[in-house]
Amino acid sequence: MTPFGARLRTLREERGITLKYLANALQVSAAYLSALEHGKRGAPSAGLVYQVNEFFGLIWDEADELAILARLSNPRVTVNTAGLTPEQTALANRLAQTIHRLPPETVAALHAILDTTAPTQKPRLRQAARKVR
């Protein structure tokens, strides 16, 4: 299951909406939505994410969260380690080989480590321009 698929299922179940009903409302097949929920399809398009937000009435933070989850929902990830250190390449390969065996606590710990090492966001152009004045 992907992060987007898990959230979509939760939204449906919380509101008592069947897969078939949602598929009809979004004009997609129930099989496609089921595959999204189970992680058997790639990340949904931005258009579908928008439709889901509209259907469930999600705005602001909830809508942004769903878009972020969609971007993190590719079930077949490729990591290009060309130009990286041998240690980074080895880590990518070890993770690919063992991720299915990691307990939830370890996955959460890895997320926490990555959250602390994430690069800071670049300032927006307008914000940078105001500082120059």
Model confidence pLDDT, tens digit, residues 79-101: 999 999 999 999 999 999 999 99
For residues 41 and 35, is the Cβ–Cβ distance under 8 A?
yes
Same domain, 65 and 109: no
Total domains in the chain come to 2
**Is residue 127 in a domain?**
no
Q: Is the pTM of this model over 0.75?
A: no
Locate 92 and state its tokens. 């990518």
Higher pLDDT, 108 or 1: 108
Average pLDDT, the chain: 89
**pLDDT above 50 (res 7):** yes
For residues 25 and 52, is the Cβ–Cβ distance under 8 A?
no
pLDDT band at 121 (very low <50, low <70, confident <90, very high): low
For residues 75 and 42, is the Cβ–Cβ distance under 8 A?
yes
**Is residue 48 in a domain?**
yes
**Is residue 91 in a domain?**
yes
Domain CATH code at residue 56:
1.10.260.40
Same domain, 38 and 93: no
Higher pLDDT, 41 or 119: 41
**pLDDT above 50 (res 37):** yes
The angle subtended at Cα 104 by Cα 101 and Cα 108, nearest 5°, is 120
Percentages helix, strand, coil for the chain, rounded to the nearest 5?
Answer: 70, 0, 30
Question: What local confidence, expressed as pLDDT, does residue 76 receive?
Answer: 86
Mean pLDDT of 24-30: 97
Same domain, 64 and 107: no
C-alpha distance from residue 46 to each of 28, 53, 114 (Å): 14, 10, 25
Same domain, 43 and 100: no
**Is residue 67 in a domain?**
yes
**pLDDT above 70 (res 129):** no
**Is residue 52 in a domain?**
yes
Q: Which residues form the domain of 94?
A: 86-117
